[in-house]
Structure 1
């Protein structure tokens, strides 16, 4: 396919009258539209206003989609213990699959082509199958919890690791390598030392398998980890092996200088979730400091119950504005930097080296957006517009591996209306009183 328009190839490169040509699932050409039409005269053509790399949701909870809105305006611990974890425990195989599919539909509609997805304890295979059917790219993992978990989510460490290994053997590299596996402890407080060290050992046994967990989201969490271990949270995770270039830590709001040095020295990835951190009053992550230290910082929406949307364009805007107001510095986090977080940095956090930019040889993950709305008139800087002005519903088409999986308001791989209808039926059991 030859897609022409204003091409935002990466956070530094814009081709005003440009084109991207895809072939055999890869990007074959990026450059001037005239040169593309001359070199590829027989390719199917599509014209859009802006062509951009597919965005990466660096931390999402697709299976929480049925709980969107069940615990708004609720403090974190009450939100988690009284609403979200009981909801996860109540999910059966069908509701897990439908919830995951619903989340992936929303992501693709919003220009997200890759997710780093923190599932739940049971029925993880249903989410993998849903991802494969919908056509999204993802790093997915079954959640591990062997302590301080509600009934229905607690399982012995050895059983959790054995099930994880079965899932690795079945799904790591599945669906033409669109899906990969991350060993996924929930967070330090819900996992014994045995389980955390076992997670590291399991990842080490399987090349390409990553680790994905939460860390230092909340001050009370950090205080409890310190009380139990005598260490700060990042120090403890480093002690048990859960840092390194194959590790993605969601949030990292409350860290001290020594912990940030650990993250930098070990090349650990961090995912910033500004909307969720604001909604749950968790605090403001020190993103500029992380970036200054060379730490890879991706961008994520977290889950629908603590964000209400998986629109990554909204998250880019929130990330930039939050740092400006927190630091009283309008230059704290620039639009190109935020765009890099949502694309190439997200690719690194997901473990895919060849996505997150429009470059020849990269996988053909791209999105086309309209600017035929008042909100997009005028556009002086396309990258600034994508960060501050664009919405997910500006997306006209979404391509993954060269396959157009969503276009003109319609999903091409599944019956989206049927999924939404069934999701509404299943979600009635979770309605707040």
Structure 2
């Protein structure tokens, strides 16, 4: 297929009147449209105003979509313990499958082709099946909680790790490698030392399996971990083996000098979730300091109850604006840096190679956007437009691995009306007081 338009190949490369040619699941050509047509005269042709690499949601909670809006105006631990965790505990397998499908639909319709997804303790296989079905690229993981968790979510650490291994054996590498696994402890607050050390052992035992958890999101969380362990959050995770290039830590808002040095020295990945951090009043992550130290920083929406959307364009805008006002510096986190976080850096954080840019030999993860609206007129700088002006509903076309999964408002593999109807019904049932 030839997908043409103004091609934003990466944060630094734009091709006016350009084209991306896909061959199977890979990109065969990126360059001028005229050359693409000459070289591939028999290929199907599609045209959009802007063509860009699929965006990366490097920290999301797909199964929390049924809780969108249920826990507004609450701080993190109250939000989690009184609202979100009880919702997760009450969800059965069909509700979990529906929630995950709804989340992946929102991602694909908003230009997100790859997710690093923090699921829940129960029914994780249902989310894996939803990822396979919808066509999204993802690294997913069952949540582990063996300490101070609510009824319905706390489980024995060994049993949780055994179930994680069963899921690894079934789904890691599924759908021709489109689906991968991350061992996923909720966070240090709800996991014993034995559980966290078991996470490292399990990941090490399986090639290509990563680790994904939360860290230092909130000052109360940091204080709780320090009271229990005598160490700050990232220091404690480092002590039990949960740092390194196969580890992705969401948030990392409240870190000190020693912890930031650990992140840099161990090449641990960090994910910035600005909207969630603002809504929960958690604080402002020191993103520019991380970048200056060489830490890979991706971008994530977190979950619908604390965002309340999975729109990656909103998150890009928020990331840049928050940095500028926090630093009182209009040059902080410019559009090119933020776009890199949402694409190539996000791919690294999610543990996928050859995605996050439009280059020959990369996976054919491509999105097409319209600029046919007053808000999108004029477009002087396509990267600036994508970061500061575009919305998820500008996306008209989403391709993952050469397969068109979303096109003109329709999903290739799922009945959107049926999913949203089921989701509304489950949400009403689960939140009925």
Query: Hey, what's the Cα distance between the residues in 1 that align with 2:4 and 2:112?
Result: 20
1:283-362 mapped onto 2 (5 Å cutoff): 283-362=283-362
Query: Hey, what's the Cα distance between the residues in 1 that align with 2:162 and 2:260?
Result: 33
Which residue in 2 is equivalent to 1:14?
14
Query: Hey, what's the Cα distance between the residues in 2 that align with 1:415 and 1:408?
Result: 14
Which residue in 2 is equivalent to 1:142?
142
Sort the Cα spacing of 1:324 and 1:432 in 2 relative to 1 into closer, same or farther, 3 A.
farther
Sort the Cα spacing of 1:218 and 1:432 in 2 relative to 1 into closer, same or farther, 3 A.
farther
Query: Hey, what's the Cα distance between the residues in 2 that align with 1:282 and 1:387?
Result: 23
Question: SS at 1:372's partner residue?
Answer: coil
Which residue in 2 is equivalent to 1:101?
101
Please provide the CA RMSD for this pair. 0.7
The Cα offsets for residues 307-347 of structure 1, whole Å up to 9 and x where unpaired, read as 01000000000000000000100111010000000000110
Query: Hey, what's the Cα distance between the residues in 2 that align with 1:76 and 1:168?
Result: 30
TM-score, with structure 1 as normaliser: 0.99
Query: Hey, what's the Cα distance between the residues in 1 that align with 2:14 and 2:90?
Result: 47
Q: Is the 8 A contact 1:225 1:233 kept in 2?
A: yes
1:168-183 mapped onto 2 (5 Å cutoff): 168-183=168-183
The Cα offsets for residues 186-237 of structure 1, whole Å up to 9 and x where unpaired, read as 0001000000000000000001000000000000110111111111111000
Sort the Cα spacing of 1:33 and 1:407 in 2 relative to 1 into closer, same or farther, 3 A.
same
Which residue in 2 is equivalent to 1:214?
214
Q: Is the 8 A contact 2:105 2:134 kept in 1?
A: yes
Q: Is the 8 A contact 1:212 1:247 kept in 2?
A: yes
The Cα offsets for residues 116-171 of structure 1, whole Å up to 9 and x where unpaired, read as 00000010000000010011000000000000100000000100000000000000
CA shift, 1:431, in A, is 3.2
Q: Is the 8 A contact 1:70 1:432 kept in 2?
A: no
Query: Hey, what's the Cα distance between the residues in 2 that align with 1:257 and 1:417?
Result: 50
Q: Is the 8 A contact 1:269 1:296 kept in 2?
A: yes
CA shift, 1:432, in A, is 6.8
Query: Hey, what's the Cα distance between the residues in 2 that align with 1:253 and 1:398?
Result: 32
Q: Is the 8 A contact 1:68 1:304 kept in 2?
A: yes
Query: Hey, what's the Cα distance between the residues in 2 that align with 1:232 and 1:71?
Result: 28
Which residue in 1 is equivalent to 2:231?
231
Which residue in 2 is equivalent to 1:279?
279
Query: Hey, what's the Cα distance between the residues in 2 that align with 1:418 and 1:392?
Result: 21
CA shift, 1:77, in A, is 2.0
CA shift, 1:430, in A, is 3.4
Query: Hey, what's the Cα distance between the residues in 2 that align with 1:228 and 1:259?
Result: 18
Query: Hey, what's the Cα distance between the residues in 2 that align with 1:361 and 1:427?
Result: 42
How many residues end up aligned between the 2 structures?
433
Q: Is the 8 A contact 1:107 1:310 kept in 2?
A: yes
Unaligned runs of 5+ in 1: none
Q: Is the 8 A contact 2:90 2:430 kept in 1?
A: no
1:114-125 mapped onto 2 (5 Å cutoff): 114-125=114-125
Query: Hey, what's the Cα distance between the residues in 1 that align with 2:76 and 2:137?
Result: 30
Question: SS at 1:359's partner residue?
Answer: coil
CA shift, 1:282, in A, is 0.1
Query: Hey, what's the Cα distance between the residues in 1 that align with 2:374 and 2:67?
Result: 33
The Cα offsets for residues 57-80 of structure 1, whole Å up to 9 and x where unpaired, read as 010000000000111112222211
Q: Is the 8 A contact 1:60 1:117 kept in 2?
A: yes
TM-score, with structure 2 as normaliser: 0.99
Q: Is the 8 A contact 1:89 1:153 kept in 2?
A: yes
